[in-house]
Chains A and B, each alone.
Chain A
């Protein structure tokens, strides 16, 4: 049938079935269909004309996700301008990617009359919205944007906002330097042409004009170099800006002295040109850095608001406004924002975000629970014990417990090398100065400045960040998102690979699920609600496979790791889980996973789940060879034969593993001196992911993220794992070659400079060129390496 060719009219993804269709147009999911309907109802269908399939795959958006935007404190932070009937806000919208996006977002006013004007900045991927707060609320705008597929990314700390401003000031400083440089060159013409017979007074005028024009270059354009040099002195260190600052000062004051004493015209053309070219180099660097910014913001994960009880009403408040004594409600899978006491009942808290231990801890009435834990199961109410701050929660990401023992080696080596190099340059410059003072004193200043300029080790300092930066981007293009550059280093060293089974080796999303037995509609609803409380992959599969509407009211929800879940609904007791757990029968092996269900103690049947292996996994494991150490699975042995065939006779196959066992196995390998790469879904193996030298979380849905992991790998790219590892290994060689280029350049240029064959101006031109050549070498080499591995 043509079904395989069906593409979502909204986002262009392949549609699995014809379930979602409107007037001959098919959609891949409910979300995309809703977006289309909103757009269609408002006569905005031109959206689809500017670009084919322009939409971002829509997810059903939780209205309450934006409730916190009603808080005045939040509004104050977000709004750029606010009055009674006019307000202005800037939202970052990462989903903006084409002309249609711009068109739709600039026509937001047609979706709500309260929006006065919206303007897209494509480069910054942001929208500036003017609106009338009397007619539309900030929350409404945010959820409106989310409803058409452009979820605004809201960040309350203003770090990012300041970045473009500093870039602007760099450009103005560059403009001033360029202006002065050009004019100084003009006024130096008589000097260049050697017009000795011309008016001496006129020469003086030119010299003084040059001096006047150089002052803004010194105090305005070049000031960053002086600030940076002074800062490094204050820390009793010497950084790479010190030689530059020294060279600039020497050149300027020497020239000023020459002009004021009437000795000669000085070297102000060199001085201004130097600053001009230095700033161009810096501008280029900042441009490249900008495009390298790791565009995944992990912090977006934390809920910014929590529901707090005001007299008899639940209202969302910002987390950092919580005070001791406040009563809050935390729902399923939400993170507990502050250390608090459980008010009533019994809950399970998953502290894997804090400790990496994923076995949910039980808490009963009166127990203290800690910030960062995640509630599993039914909503519960807590009393806040200790106030908290957003920064406390976000700092969890960078918490000690998520940091690996080995800190970045390369960064330290480079810092030390650059510092040593700077000292060497200073000594060489001094030596050169002494030599030229005796040999030909009138050229001493120029030669010394040239030495200081040309020897700047910035190419050296740039090689590593750019090599690893391009690597991160190459991985990102192939849907492996690594936490930072250190991970690449560790990934390259990996020699033992351990897999989780469900959701990693096997498909997480498209299992074949059949139910053997009988369930009433009411039971089905209860089962679906129960499984939705659990984060186990099998529960998730069952939740996804059941299509019963509504949510049942569940009491006494319990999850017994490795066994199953149980709970009560409408007077009936439900148990869902393994054969042992549900019907006290020993498990029988059928080559398929079975999840049994009982209602009030009577077995009603089982879900037979046949998980299928991910595509290309056979070939991938073959290519990895001996490095594959084995499989750890929390499930029973029903798939042992399949796994044995897949991994070969030498591999370790362990079943019925709880999170502790998995972690212990990784530790065991590490004690044998192995560098372990653990790949899992990050749910019941968070501890192992954290323990491993590199822990990768495999996901089929970008919403799930484990902070203990070092990276996120998209499920369909599992087959390329061996290529990723080989690519990481290549980064070392690329880095060494980058260093080689930079050293070679410095050595050659220094020889010319010391022997007086290089003017400072040429040195200043060479310096950005050397940086640029190292930077472009890094990105070209990484691209080439990725291509050799048949990656994008």
Chain B
């Protein structure tokens, strides 16, 4: 029966790790906004064409 107690201890420990991870997720704000990142990854950056030009305009 000792093995059951040991297994329970291990399973509880692992579950606690997941609880801790979830706690950290919440605290670090990963669930604050679930919409914007899904849109953001679809934006075309198109950097090579634009950024030099935009930079020039700033200087002028």
Seen from chain A, the residues whose Cβ lies within 8 Å of a Cβ on chain B are 41-43, 46, 99, 102-103, 106, 110, 112-113, 119-124, 164, 168, 171-172, 175-176, 179, 183, 187, 199, 201-202, 205, 209
Given contacts A43-B53, A183-B12, contact A102 B39 (CB under 8 A): yes
Besides A113-B55, A121-B36, 16 other CB < 8 A contacts? A103-B43, A106-B40, A106-B43, A112-B58, A121-B33, A122-B33, A122-B35, A122-B36, A168-B26, A172-B23, A176-B19, A183-B12, A201-B1, A202-B5, A205-B5, A209-B8
In the bound complex, do residue A123 and residue B55 qualify as a contact, i.e. CB atoms below 8 Å apart? no
In the bound complex, do residue B39 and residue A172 qualify as a contact, i.e. CB atoms below 8 Å apart? no
Chain B proximity of A264: nearest CB distance (Å): 20
In terms of DSSP, what is the predominant structure of the interface of chain B?
Answer: helix
In the assembled complex, which residues on chain B have CB atoms less than 8 Å from the CB atom of A102? 36, 39-40
In the bound complex, do residue B15 and residue A179 qualify as a contact, i.e. CB atoms below 8 Å apart? yes
17 contacting pairs across A/B (C-beta < 8 A) = A42-B57, A43-B53, A102-B36, A102-B39, A110-B50, A113-B58, A120-B36, A121-B33, A122-B35, A123-B32, A123-B35, A164-B32, A172-B23, A179-B15, A199-B1, A201-B1, A205-B8
In the assembled complex, which residues on chain B have CB atoms less than 8 Å from the CB atom of A103? 39, 43
Q: What total of chain B residues lie within 8 Å of the partner, measured CB to CB? A: 30
Given contacts A121-B32, A123-B33, A175-B22, contact A202 B44 (CB under 8 A): no
CA distance A229 to B37 in the complex (A): 41
CA distance A102 to B33 in the complex (A): 13
In the bound complex, do residue A202 and residue B1 qualify as a contact, i.e. CB atoms below 8 Å apart? yes
CA distance A222 to B22 in the complex (A): 19
In the assembled complex, which residues on chain A have CB atoms less than 8 Å from the CB atom of B51? 110
Given contacts A124-B33, A199-B1, contact A43 B50 (CB under 8 A): yes
In the assembled complex, which residues on chain A have CB atoms less than 8 Å from the CB atom of B57? 41-42
Q: B16: nearest residue on chain A (CB-CB)?
A: A179
In the bound complex, do residue B40 and residue A46 qualify as a contact, i.e. CB atoms below 8 Å apart? no
In the assembled complex, which residues on chain A have CB atoms less than 8 Å from the CB atom of B4? 202
Of B19, B39, B43, which contacts A175 at CB under 8 A? B19
Interface residue ranges of B1-50 to A (CB < 8 Å): 1, 4-5, 8, 12, 15, 19, 22-23, 26-27, 31-36, 39-40, 43-44, 46, 49-50
In the assembled complex, which residues on chain B have CB atoms less than 8 Å from the CB atom of A205? 5, 8
In terms of DSSP, what is the predominant structure of the interface of chain A?
Answer: helix
Chain A proximity of B43: nearest CB distance (Å): 6
In the bound complex, do residue B26 and residue A42 qualify as a contact, i.e. CB atoms below 8 Å apart? no
CA distance A175 to B26 in the complex (A): 10
Seen from chain B, the residues whose Cβ lies within 8 Å of a Cβ on chain A are 1, 4-5, 8, 12, 15, 19, 22-23, 26-27, 31-36, 39-40, 43-44, 46, 49-51, 53-55, 57-58
Q: B54: nearest residue on chain A (CB-CB)?
A: A110
Q: B22: nearest residue on chain A (CB-CB)?
A: A175
In the bound complex, do residue A42 and residue B54 qualify as a contact, i.e. CB atoms below 8 Å apart? yes
In the assembled complex, which residues on chain B have CB atoms less than 8 Å from the CB atom of A202? 1, 4-5
In the assembled complex, which residues on chain B have CB atoms less than 8 Å from the CB atom of A41? 57
Chain B proximity of A101: nearest CB distance (Å): 10
CA distance A199 to B1 in the complex (A): 8
Chain B proximity of A195: nearest CB distance (Å): 12
Summed over the interface, the residue pairs from A and B with CB atoms below 8 Å come to a total of 66
In the assembled complex, which residues on chain A have CB atoms less than 8 Å from the CB atom of B27? 168, 172
In the assembled complex, which residues on chain B have CB atoms less than 8 Å from the CB atom of A179? 15, 19
CA distance A124 to B36 in the complex (A): 11
* 8 pairs of A and B residues whose beta carbons are closest in the complex: A121-B33, A122-B36, A122-B35, A43-B50, A123-B33, A179-B19, A110-B54, A99-B39
Chain B proximity of A529: nearest CB distance (Å): 36
CA distance A199 to B2 in the complex (A): 11
Chain B proximity of A710: nearest CB distance (Å): 35
Q: B32: nearest residue on chain A (CB-CB)?
A: A121
Q: A119: nearest residue on chain B (CB-CB)?
A: B36
In the assembled complex, which residues on chain A have CB atoms less than 8 Å from the CB atom of B23? 172, 175
> Among B43, B44, B55, which residue has the most Cβ atoms of chain A within 10 A?
B43
CA distance A172 to B53 in the complex (A): 48
In the assembled complex, which residues on chain B have CB atoms less than 8 Å from the CB atom of A123? 32-36
In the assembled complex, which residues on chain A have CB atoms less than 8 Å from the CB atom of B32? 121, 123-124, 164
Q: A106: nearest residue on chain B (CB-CB)?
A: B40
Chain B proximity of A301: nearest CB distance (Å): 29
Q: B31: nearest residue on chain A (CB-CB)?
A: A171
In the assembled complex, which residues on chain B have CB atoms less than 8 Å from the CB atom of A110? 50-51, 54
CA distance A123 to B57 in the complex (A): 34
Q: A179: nearest residue on chain B (CB-CB)?
A: B19
In the bound complex, do residue A172 and residue B26 qualify as a contact, i.e. CB atoms below 8 Å apart? yes
Given contacts A110-B54, A179-B15, A179-B19, contact A46 B39 (CB under 8 A): no
> Among A42, A106, A122, A187, which residue has the most Cβ atoms of chain B within 10 A?
A122
CA distance A268 to B34 in the complex (A): 35
In the assembled complex, which residues on chain B have CB atoms less than 8 Å from the CB atom of A99? 39
CA distance A168 to B32 in the complex (A): 9
CA distance A338 to B36 in the complex (A): 43
In the assembled complex, which residues on chain A have CB atoms less than 8 Å from the CB atom of B44? 46
CA distance A197 to B9 in the complex (A): 23
Chain A proximity of B37: nearest CB distance (Å): 9
In the assembled complex, which residues on chain A have CB atoms less than 8 Å from the CB atom of B53? 43
In the assembled complex, which residues on chain A have CB atoms less than 8 Å from the CB atom of B15? 179, 183
Given contacts A172-B26, A175-B22, A176-B19, contact A43 B36 (CB under 8 A): no
In the assembled complex, which residues on chain A have CB atoms less than 8 Å from the CB atom of B8? 187, 205, 209
Q: A182: nearest residue on chain B (CB-CB)?
A: B15
In the assembled complex, which residues on chain B have CB atoms less than 8 Å from the CB atom of A199? 1
CA distance A172 to B28 in the complex (A): 12
Q: B33: nearest residue on chain A (CB-CB)?
A: A121
Chain A proximity of B23: nearest CB distance (Å): 6
CA distance A183 to B31 in the complex (A): 25
In the assembled complex, which residues on chain B have CB atoms less than 8 Å from the CB atom of A171? 26, 31
CA distance A46 to B31 in the complex (A): 28
In the bound complex, do residue A43 and residue B54 qualify as a contact, i.e. CB atoms below 8 Å apart? yes
CA distance A652 to B35 in the complex (A): 56
Q: A43: nearest residue on chain B (CB-CB)?
A: B50
Q: B51: nearest residue on chain A (CB-CB)?
A: A110
In the assembled complex, which residues on chain A have CB atoms less than 8 Å from the CB atom of B1? 199, 201-202
In the assembled complex, which residues on chain B have CB atoms less than 8 Å from the CB atom of A209? 8, 12
Chain A proximity of B13: nearest CB distance (Å): 12
Chain B proximity of A115: nearest CB distance (Å): 11
In the assembled complex, which residues on chain A have CB atoms less than 8 Å from the CB atom of B55? 113
CA distance A209 to B55 in the complex (A): 64
In the assembled complex, which residues on chain A have CB atoms less than 8 Å from the CB atom of B39? 99, 102-103, 122
